[in-house]
Structure 1
Amino acid sequence: MSEQASDIILERMMSLHPKIIDLTLDRVWRLLAALDHPERRLPPVIHIAGTNGKGSTLAMIRAGLVGAGRTAHAYTSPHLARFHERIRLAGALISEEALTEALDRCEAANGGESITYFEITTVAALLAFAEKPADFTLLEVGLGGRLDATNVVDPVLTVITPVSIDHTQYLGTTLAEIAGEKAGILKRGVPCIVGPQPDEALEVIEAKAARLGAPLLVHGQHWHVWEERGRLVFQDETGLLDLPLPALIGPHQIQNAGAALAALRALGFDEAACEAAMTDVTWPARMQRLRHGPLVDLAEGAELWLDGGHNPAAGTMLAQVLGDLPPRPTHLVCGMLNTKDVAGFMRPLAGLADSLTAVPIPGEPNTLPAEATADAARAAGLVADTAPDVASAIHAITRATPAARILICGSLYLAGRVLRDNG
């Protein structure tokens, strides 16, 4: 089967709806019914929503399940380099043949009806999951929760990672409104792991859970997690765990680890699974150190890092990570979408970076022009310039500061392009 077959189908699917995002479940239910409801035939589902940390938490849960000898399907978004990254069948990235078959069947069943790209590709993932044995299914919400295309399942466990302000044009302008959308994944009687939350968000989640009789396991109440002497300590009503720090870098990964551990414990897994969740987890473009490839060669003696965070909470997390690293001249290469709170992302980084070089995101219609990104950086207190692309930015930085620490950041779409260009 042609390696390009899935790309051709995916491109056709982009034209099935005039909008990229149009939150409703009507079209998803219609297509699922036409396919004889694959969502009813899934292995036990763990459904994960939140603003930040969804993907990292899912990756840790998956590592723990694998460490316990279990298999898990996983659905995440967006992809970085290839669409296939979104769908893991029993642990392995979906093959070109399997992806093309699932997309073909969904396209045929849809019959040319209006449906968004995310909706029809989510149904394709559920179809593939329903027909391949596994012990668990891990589903990451794409946007929000209540009306997200993944919210058609009957999970055995839900997880809500930290909620913050993002996607205000779709989810609401207040923490309470956004939390209400995230809490839409709660199901009657189904336990939910709740990560650290602002009070305003937690009140909404607790109220919704009370109405549904959904038991909550809340950070700071039912479980606690902290770093102590280079180790991760987790405590819940079952007892204390003393574990290695998560392989994912940054203090924010401690709270993500806590949610993953709480989930594994709620599912009945032992300390060996919990340790595997910490040591075996991988998740690209989350404060990832690039060590090989053309861009690394171009950087020569500089450190090259990559992160896809793109909202104010992610900016705060990145600032914490940079503040914990050994001192070194630090320069940002940043590209962002015009739908994001650019100043909010940059403000926490202003005191930690010596400069920011703004770049456009190639191939993205919603990319913020480099000069507009640079203007926002200056307004946030950063010294800023522009470059036509990431390679040019790295070259200019290393020519002026050979031993620099360079962090490429601002968008998962930019991160995906960097990973493709860096091989």
Structure 2
Amino acid sequence: MTTLADWLARIYTIRSGPEIEMGLERIRPIYERMQVAPACPVILVAGTNGKGSVCAYIDAILRASGYRVGRYTSPHIHRFNERVVVNGAEASDQALVAAFDAVEAARGDVSLTFFEYTTLAAFHLFAATRLDAWVIEVGLGGRLDATNILDADCAVITSIGVDHTEFLGETRELIAIEKAGILRRGRHAVIAEPDPPVTLTHSMNGHGAHGHYIGRDFGWHRIAEAPQQWGFWIRDPAAGGDGVAHRHGLPIPALRGSYQLGNAAAALAALHCLRDRLPVAQGAVKQGLLEVEWPGRFQVLPGRPVTVLDVGHNAHAAIALERALADMAYFPVTYAVFAMLRDKDIAAVIDAVKRRIDEWHIAPLPGPRGADLPLLLAALAENGIPDRQIHRHTDVATAYAAARKLAAEADRIVVFGSFLTVAQVSGA
């Protein structure tokens, strides 16, 4: 009998190939044969960073409203099952095996990539379940991503930074065009990037989508007299008065970091766009904001010394991490446990966060994509980090153990650089 481990071993070999084949040509006829088109609203979320958090907010708020929700995200931290969640519960091994079997039966002699297999399997599982909404995170870019086989009722673009340049282009302007590929004519599009490239605006017009831009059409504000609350607003002619709808007195989200208010506002904007089909009461919004969970995104572990886990692996994410660290209380010493993949801009990540780090504990990541110690050391030297502040280790778990041994109770440890880095610490 085929197990989930058997299936993953098989499709992971595809993942390790030299190239990722992008496009919808292979997946479309299989998607149609499988008859897994959603019968409920679909929210598709793209962006360089923040898209997983936005998916988590939308999922939590809709479930607090009593809706049944399918959520598909990637990558996972510990278990593949984390990627496919139905009504708050990870898909079982048995359900995923059945879904992979269904993909295999439908694909014929067509070769699929790792992500195409997993995306079709998730869609099969969702279609077999009576759901009220699908919340789908784009894997890479947008235009050619397998998830874009869906016609989103509301598309969200969270941010546009420079990452995956080998597939998406070398500039924000080119990357914006790729992400805009998820837009659909006559459908809503929520743009949470505060500085959108002009190519995104042109793409919005070309696709004929109804654009809602943060800062212009929706936004958020802190409440001075109630620092533990915030407010959301969105332009809506049906709201009457000044044509703006509001949600007041919202609790600070359970996800840490001031940047999370922007992600939460994007989620609320998307839900407002779909309010006729998925109405959400104020109480459900508050409950969802308080109960949302998304591990590894500025996640503060209980106990002392304070340990922060963050999967940020590009300069855009590192800038957000630096700001969130700056907003925390004073710590005498901050230790970094740091490891990255070699195909990322390691020097730019270090540059973004170095002012918050006193001691660096570095380690290689396993596999051909993992950056080795010489590569990490070169990037640290490029940023002027003196060798006396650098501690070398054989693996991330050893680096974390060493940092914990050195750190006093009042100090702080920050584990970041990759999903793989966080996984080796949070799973310990």
Query: By the TM > 0.5 criterion, same fold?
Result: yes
Question: Is 1:235 equivalent to 2:233 in the alignment?
Answer: yes
Post-superposition shift, 1:399?
3.4
Q: Aligned to 1:138, what secondary structure does the other structure show?
A: strand
For residues 317-361 of structure 1, give each alpha carbon's deviation from its aligned partner in whole angstroms, at most 9, with x where no partner exists: 111111111111101101100111111111121111101111122
Q: Aligned to 2:253, what secondary structure does the other structure show?
A: coil
Distance 1:84 1:240, change over 3 A: closer
Distance 1:400 1:91, change over 3 A: closer
Q: Aligned to 2:356, what secondary structure does the other structure show?
A: coil
Which one is further off, 17-26 or 342-351? Answer: 17-26
Which amino acid in 1 is paired with 2:289?
A: M
Which one is further off, 10-19 or 231-240? Answer: 10-19
Which amino acid in 1 is paired with 2:230?
A: L
Question: Is 1:396 equivalent to 2:402 in the alignment?
Answer: yes
Q: Aligned to 2:103, what secondary structure does the other structure show?
A: helix
Residue equivalent to 2:210: 215
Residue equivalent to 1:275: 286
Q: Aligned to 2:376, what secondary structure does the other structure show?
A: helix
Residue equivalent to 1:384: 390
For residues 223-275 of structure 1, give each alpha carbon's deviation from its aligned partner in whole angstroms, at most 9, with x where no partner exists: 12133323222122212422111111111111101101111222222322321
Q: Aligned to 1:189, what secondary structure does the other structure show?
A: coil
Which amino acid in 2 is paired with 1:274?
A: V
Tell me how far apart the structure 2 counterparts of residues 80 and 400 of structure 1 sit (CA, whole Å): 26
Tell me how far apart the structure 1 counterparts of residues 195 and 384 of structure 2 sit (CA, whole Å): 27
Instruction: Give the CA RMSD over aligned residues.
Output: 1.8
Kept in 1, the 8 Å contact 2:397–2:425? The answer is no
Kept in 1, the 8 Å contact 2:338–2:360? The answer is yes
2:104 corresponds, among 107, 128, 153, to 107
Distance 1:20 1:45, change over 3 A: farther
Residue equivalent to 2:12: 14
Residue equivalent to 1:296: none
Tell me how far apart the structure 1 counterparts of residues 322 and 222 of structure 2 sit (CA, whole Å): 18
Residue equivalent to 1:295: none
Which one is further off, 376-385 or 260-269? Answer: 376-385
Question: Is 1:182 equivalent to 2:179 in the alignment?
Answer: yes
Post-superposition shift, 1:393?
1.7
Residue equivalent to 2:239: none
Which one is further off, 163-172 or 14-23? Answer: 14-23
Matches within 5 A, 1:195-344: 195-200=192-197, 203-228=198-223, 229-236=227-234, 237-268=244-275, 269-291=280-302, 301-328=304-331, 329-344=333-348
Kept in 2, the 8 Å contact 1:50–1:162? The answer is yes
Which one is further off, 132-141 or 99-108? Answer: 99-108
Tell me how far apart the structure 1 counterparts of residues 364 and 301 of structure 2 sit (CA, whole Å): 21
For residues 201-229 of structure 1, give each alpha carbon's deviation from its aligned partner in whole angstroms, at most 9, with x where no partner exists: xx222222222321111101111213332
Residue equivalent to 1:123: 120
Distance 1:401 1:14, change over 3 A: closer
Which one is further off, 213-222 or 226-235? Answer: 226-235
Kept in 1, the 8 Å contact 2:397–2:424? The answer is no
Tell me how far apart the structure 2 counterparts of residues 286 and 375 of structure 1 sit (CA, whole Å): 27
Query: Tell me, which stretches of 5 or more residues in structure 2 are unaligned?
Result: 235-243
Q: Aligned to 1:238, what secondary structure does the other structure show?
A: strand
Which amino acid in 1 is paired with 2:390?
A: A
Matches within 5 A, 1:115-194: 115-194=112-191
Which amino acid in 2 is paired with 1:83?
A: F
Tell me how far apart the structure 1 counterparts of residues 62 and 392 of structure 2 sit (CA, whole Å): 44
Distance 1:154 1:61, change over 3 A: same
For residues 11-43 of structure 1, give each alpha carbon's deviation from its aligned partner in whole angstroms, at most 9, with x where no partner exists: 1123457445221111111322332x31x2343
Q: Aligned to 2:26, what secondary structure does the other structure show?
A: helix
For residues 20-71 of structure 1, give each alpha carbon's deviation from its aligned partner in whole angstroms, at most 9, with x where no partner exists: 5221111111322332x31x23432101001110000110111110111111
Question: Is 1:349 equivalent to 2:353 in the alignment?
Answer: yes
Tell me how far apart the structure 2 counterparts of residues 127 and 226 of structure 1 sit (CA, whole Å): 40
Q: Percent identity?
A: 35
Kept in 2, the 8 Å contact 1:106–1:124? The answer is yes
Question: Is 1:408 equivalent to 2:407 in the alignment?
Answer: no
The number of residues matched between the two structures is 406
Q: Aligned to 1:151, what secondary structure does the other structure show?
A: helix
Residue equivalent to 1:32: 31
For residues 69-99 of structure 1, give each alpha carbon's deviation from its aligned partner in whole angstroms, at most 9, with x where no partner exists: 1110000000111111000123321111110
Which one is further off, 81-90 or 169-178? Answer: 81-90
Kept in 2, the 8 Å contact 1:264–1:274? The answer is no
Which one is further off, 397-406 or 175-184? Answer: 397-406
Q: Aligned to 1:41, what secondary structure does the other structure show?
A: coil
Which amino acid in 2 is paired with 1:208?
A: S
Which amino acid in 2 is paired with 1:398?
A: R
Query: Tell me, which stretches of 5 or more residues in structure 1 are unaligned?
Result: 293-300
Runs of 4+ in 1 over 4 A off after TM superposition: none
Kept in 2, the 8 Å contact 1:195–1:218? The answer is yes
Tell me how far apart the structure 2 counterparts of residues 349 and 172 of structure 1 sit (CA, whole Å): 25
Distance 1:10 1:337, change over 3 A: same
